[in-house]
Amino acid sequence: MYCVRNVTDDLYWVGANDHRLALFENIFPIPRGVSYNAYLLLDEKTVLFDTVDWSACRQLLENVEHLLDGRTLDYLVVNHMEPDHGASVEEILLRYPSVKVISTEKAFMFMRQFGFDIDGHELIEVKEGDTQSFGRHVVTFVAAPMVHWPEAMVTFDTTNGVLFSADAFGSFGALDGKLFADEVNFDRDWIDDARRYLTNIVGKYGPHVQMLLKKAAGILDQIKFICPLHGPVWRKDLMYFIDKYDHWSRYEPEEKGVMIAYASMYGNTEAAAQALAGKLCEKGVSNVWLYDVSNTHVSQLISETFRLSHIVLASVTYNLGIYPVMHNYLMDMKALNLQNRTFAIIENGSWAVKSGDLMQKFIDEELKNMTVLNERLSMASALLPDKAAELGALADAIVESVNQ
């Protein structure tokens, strides 16, 4: 059965929802599923904007066929050739052999690399600023390299103000009927998945997102809809989400608050993390979030690290090193270019305590623009009452820094 929704009077969502995939990119858990968004414009010409993952191809075809209602498909615009959107391109070409494909030089290169038989078809290569008329609608193409692959572009419909934003402004989470961000409680139910999506997937490319935001700033008053390739479509309160993107891509925290990420085998480091959390709240800083790095997916840790201003790393020493899962989290921060956070350190060990110095060294040498508070809580096996003053001093230093 077809499943479509109007975005505007002549533009339709023709994508699909996926609740079967457990790991997006075979790495990120998606308990709320994901949507693959594609859009069909019925103008004098018929235009499909992007396709879907291969697993959802059948749904896309049903949707498109239903709306075309006997017309042929004239154009396919491919903004992004990553397989979760581009995998069904060849199937569209097989079904609609006269379709003209509009995309970037690099995207056509990727189509060939993936083995798609495109060369018997009319291919229209576009670059920044090129325009195309489909009848009433005129669109312009804007390069969006590394948001999130190098071939990516976004397409702006100058007639109705629709921005087809490719992977920008996307989110994990299946739509399940609710197409628009204003049909859900986005700030309560979606923002964490949107942040986890952007920070983990495009986090490394903050400067490229900033470049795209600067281009968008020039036409901000003309943008009426943002149609991403995953997650809800935006038609109200666009600045709420644009502002989030601005923070994430500048590596600026959204909130003053403390994330305590702890690595603990037998519970003593965890107990210290709990004691610190209690002290912070007692001293008036209650935006405090505890995460056990061993049972919190690293994508969630990264997302929270992008959200909050202060990070406490509490780790046992393990074979003279940092606990491996904590180390992995630090490596991910480096890979994603995270910056501008204030850290505090809690270390533990029973015979040769090393984790504190090693975490400090990693932050100083491998991460950019970070501050580490001087106060450190160092434990030998367990946090005993003789460490109360040290714990209090650490809490005071964090509170002072948060309140600055």
Ligand X SMILES: Cc1cc2nc3c(=O)[nH]c(=O)nc-3n(C[C@H](O)[C@H](O)[C@H](O)COP(=O)(O)O)c2cc1C
Binding site for ligand X (CB under 6 A): 264-270, 316-320, 348-353, 381
Contact between 62 and 40 (Cβ < 8 Å): no
| Cα 86 from Cα 304, distance rounded (Å) | 30
50 contacts 77 by C-beta, under 8 angstroms = yes
Minimum CB separation from ligand X for residue 272, in Å?
8
φ and ψ of 12, to 5 deg: -125, 145
Quick one: tokens of 27? Answer: 């790495």
Query: Would you give the DSSP letter of residue 42?
Result: E
- For 162-205, the DSSP string reads EEEEETTT--SB--TT--BGGGTTIIIIIHHHHHHHHHHHTGGG
Q: Closest Cα to residue 274, out of 314, 324, 326?
A: 314
**How many CB atoms are closer than 10 A to CB 66?**
15
6 vs 350 by CB, closer to ligand X: 350
The residues pairing with 279 across neighbouring beta strands, listed in sequence order, are none
Measured CA to CA, the distance from residue 30 to residue 35 in angstroms comes to 11
CA distance 42 to 12: 8
- Which sign does the torsion angle of CA 338, 344, 347, 353 carry? positive
d(CA 104, CA 100): 13
| Tally of CB atoms within 10 A around 105 | 11
Encoded tokens for 103? 């995309």
Output phi, psi for 200, to 5 deg: -80, -30
Which residue minimizes CB distance to ligand X? Answer: 349
For ligand X, which is the closer residue by CB, 40 or 316?
316
Cα–Cα distance measured from residue 344 to residue 371, given in angstroms and rounded to the nearest whole number? 9
Q: Report the C-alpha dihedral over residues 42, 46, 49, 50, rounded to 10 degrees.
A: 130
User: d(Cα 344, Cα 274) in Å, to the nearest integer?
Assistant: 15
Alpha helices in 186-267 (DSSP H): 191-201, 206-217, 238-250
Distance CA 216, CA 210 (A): 10
